[in-house]
Chains A and B, each alone.
Chain A
Amino acid sequence: MKRFLPFLCCLLFLAGCTAPSADAEPAQVQFFSMDTVMSIRVYNEGGEDAIQAARQEVERLDKLLSRTNPDSQISLLNSHAGDGTLISLDAEVADLLSFAKSVSQLLPGCFDITIAPVMDAWGFTKEERHVPSAEALADAMSLVNSEALIVDEASSSARLEQAGMEVDLGAVAKGFAAGRADAVLREYGVTSALLDLGGNVTAIGSKLDGSAWQVAVKDPQNTSEALCVLSLEDQTASTSGGYERYFEENGQTYHHIIDPKTGYPADSGLLSVTVISSDHMLADALSTTLFVAGPEEALDFWRSRDDFELVLCTEDNRVIVTEGLEAGYRPAGEDRGYTYEIARR
């Protein structure tokens, strides 16, 4: 029997060895809202109720903010453009309009939520993409002016001063929704979750093992590959790039991020911009703005503030990562010709 004792002990101890279990399957949902695909994954146990509540919150905001929904508050605001009516809005809508106006002032000429008529002229709204005639573009450009969007936060109301003007919150609504969904999940006690609102990824808390979420940034020239991988906790990574929506006409490619200064697709030397911030709405707004601004202006702006970090991918295959991300990032596109550099303050 003694001979067998070590063998039995081995058996007993080995019983503890099982194949490494896959990470616990999160509760998750995928749905369409805000003209994009969204998913919510909650890793805490019993996350189903939290997920449904967060989804309902996003869908509620879509109904309020959508320009293509005739019953939304934004449609109401747009339909009264130029007639002098001050439109009463929910406080959160007035705050969001006010925030969008403030971003226009931070980087003048790079961001304007009244760009909607120009997006329509290019056919990006109704998916009939085409190069507009010079006349149609000039007409649309004459309606772009966020100074003529008057917002009164005290009375939660707003008006557009010129007939034909329209507001489109596409560049800020997903970030705003991420902030609200984040708050709803936390009310349910969620501490470990991932939101993907159309490519804007919000990391809530950390993984259940306490480590940071690993979020890949898409390679704008080969979207099935990663440019780099970032470590995120309680932050949003929002990416804007010309590769997301575009069309070709007469051999030329035209993408959907329109420069408010020219009315044409932004041509700033950048292929994509990823903004990482604990302010979800700021991350969303700045990714579009800094894509239009270009690499030098983007880095100058980053140096002037301390509330976000950047990954810039330039047309000459440089990937510029700001120093706040340095510790947790790893490059992933060296074999595709990218060179990586750290931008310092």
Chain B
Amino acid sequence: MRSPAADRRRPTLWDGLVVLAVVAFAVLLVFLLRPAEGSAVTAVITLDGETVAQYRLDQLSQPVTLDVEGAAYPLTIRAEQGRICIEHSDCPSQDCVRTGWISRPGQQIICLPNRLVISLSGTEPEPFDAVTG
């Protein structure tokens, strides 16, 4: 049995509507299925396990300086768009200051004498699960 549509040469208004609906839905899907964020990078600063500050590094428009209260050795953290470092620490080892800037999810700065950790996380999948060294 032939469908009525097979007998017609010219598309009807209904055909146009279906095309429009499919196109509109496709555009909608592009928006619905895109990743939630481009490449969010969040820095979480913990002192002896307690979170003391949190920054969205990708959204920082101005540099931020944080003097961490309660640290055994006074310590200053500097965050800029996309990166963060320990600018100054009175700790004896200075390993944390020497680490320099970090910018990628999965990276950490550790100040052992202060029991302070800066950890970066992000929405982009990381290329590995852990780091030895």
Contacts and interface: CB of A to CB of B under 8 A. Distances in A.
Interface in B104-133: 104, 107-108, 110, 112-113, 115, 117, 119, 123, 125, 127-133
A3 B15 contact: yes
Interface string A239-250: 101001101000
B18 A3 contact: yes
Q: Is the interface of A mostly helix, strand, loop or mixed?
A: strand
B8 to A, nearest CB: 12
A81 interface: no
Given A37-B117, A218-B133, A30 B49 contact: yes
Contacts of A23: 125
A224 B22 CA distance: 47
Given A3-B14, A3-B15, A129-B93, A272 B112 contact: no
A216 B117 CA distance: 20
A215 B104 CA distance: 16
Interface in A262-295: 272, 274
Nearest to A195: B130
A344 to B, nearest CB: 23
Nearest to A23: B125
B128 A216 contact: yes
B133 A239 contact: yes
A22 B36 CA distance: 11
A180 B22 CA distance: 59
A31 B5 CA distance: 70
A201 B132 contact: yes
Interface in A189-224: 194, 196, 199-201, 203, 207, 213-218, 220, 223-224
B20 to A, nearest CB: 11
B46 A30 contact: yes
A127 B93 contact: yes
A7 B100 CA distance: 56
Enumerate the 7 nearest inter-chain pairs by beta-carbon distance, A residue then B residue, closest first: A218-B133, A127-B92, A214-B128, A237-B132, A239-B133, A216-B128, A201-B132
6 contacts: A11-B25, A19-B36, A31-B49, A224-B100, A237-B132, A274-B133
Interface of B: 3, 5, 14-15, 18, 21-22, 25, 29, 32-36, 46, 48-49, 91-95, 99-104, 107-108, 110, 112-113, 115, 117, 119, 123, 125, 127-133
Interface of A: 2-4, 7, 10-11, 14, 17-19, 22-23, 30-32, 35-37, 127-129, 194, 196, 199-201, 203, 207, 213-218, 220, 223-224, 226, 229, 237-239, 241, 244-245, 247, 272, 274
